[in-house]
């Protein structure tokens, strides 16, 4: 038997109450205090898009796992209001639709969040026709993402600006992630405002920061940043896939990185790639 349609027009939203008993479920509350403190410290230093990407992927990801984050700051010019940070390859058409100047698909998501009393809101894309028919969200489902975790800051909350964040993941989202997002929202909002809302660009200097990477390593890491696969990088640079892998191993050693994604985040943070 199929699911009944929601006649109220509201997007179905799973909104567990953020009671103390729920906060006690956070896996890092007792065992990862150092990581908790480090994540907060790093958030305070976010000053540009590279820093924000690093913080999302290397720090917040531990508490709110995700494949991509959609940041919407409606006070910015329309062409810059929506930014997507992703750690998995996305079709160019999908990325363009997610970052379109007037993202209509965000409207029902925000409505669901407001209807859930502006608490973290878990939304099932398959449960509502309005969302199933949105081209961008339909393409997200084709990528295996059918549940979104939505939270933000409302302009009525005595702040100067508003924000909305959508966390997308292929893994199952649990109450600990929902509670974790509520805990980290003030840091996420402030970091995104500094990084994306004016004054957040990396200042230009007359000198280029010294790099531990060779020109070829930088070229390969930039290709990884653009979500290119090993075979694609090899074909682009006319080298073998094994050579690409060897370069990547040396890059990770030089940057102290545990993975390709970690290496990209470190390079962005140090302004070694753009």
Q: What is the pTM of this model?
A: 0.67
pLDDT at position 24 is 52
Residue 162 has a pLDDT of 86
What domains are there in the chain, each with its CATH number?
22-196 (3.30.450.80), 215-269 (1.10.10.10)
SS (H, E, C) 248-264: HHHHHHHHCCCCHHHHH
Q: What torsion, rounded to 10 degrees, do the Cα atoms 173, 176, 180, 181 define?
A: 30
Q: What is the pLDDT along the chain (274 residues), one digit of tens a residue?
A: 444 444 445 566 654 444 444 445 555 444 456 677 778 888 888 888 888 998 998 889 888 888 899 999 988 888 889 999 988 888 888 888 888 877 888 888 888 898 888 899 888 888 877 787 788 888 888 888 888 999 999 876 554 568 999 999 876 767 778 888 888 999 999 999 989 975 434 333 333 456 788 999 999 998 887 767 889 899 989 999 999 999 999 998 888 777 787 788 777 767 788 6
């Amino acid at each position: 038997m199929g699911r009944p349609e929601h006649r109220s027009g509201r997007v179905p939203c799973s909104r567990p109450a953020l009671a103390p008993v729920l906060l006690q479920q956070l896996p890092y509350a007792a065992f990862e205090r150092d990581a908790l403190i480090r994540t907060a410290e790093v958030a305070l230093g976010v000053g540009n898009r590279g820093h924000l990407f690093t913080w999302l992927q290397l720090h917040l990801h531990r508490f709110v796992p995700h494949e991509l984050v959609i940041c919407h700051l409606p006070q910015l010019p329309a062409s810059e209001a929506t930014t997507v940070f992703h750690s998995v390859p996305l079709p160019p058409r999908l990325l363009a639709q997610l970052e379109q100047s007037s993202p209509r698909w965000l409207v029902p998501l925000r409505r669901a969040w407001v209807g859930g009393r502006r608490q973290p809101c878990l939304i099932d894309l398959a449960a509502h026709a309005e969302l199933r028919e949105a081209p961008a969200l339909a393409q997200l489902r084709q990528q295996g993402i059918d549940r979104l975790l939505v939270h933000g800051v409302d302009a009525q909350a005595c702040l100067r600006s508003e924000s909305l964040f959508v966390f997308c993941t292929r893994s199952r989202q649990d109450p600990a992630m929902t509670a974790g997002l509520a805990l980290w929202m003030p840091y996420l909002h402030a970091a995104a405002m500094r990084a994306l809302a004016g004054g957040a660009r990396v200042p230009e200097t007359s000198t280029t920061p010294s790099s531990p990477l060779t020109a070829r390593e930088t070229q390969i890491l930039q290709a990884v940043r653009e979500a290119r696969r090993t075979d694609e990088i090899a074909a682009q640079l006319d080298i073998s896939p094994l050579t690409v892998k060897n370069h990547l191993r040396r890059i990770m050693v030089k940057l102290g990185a545990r993975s390709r994604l970690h290496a990209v985040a470190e390079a962005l943070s140090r302004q070694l790639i753009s």
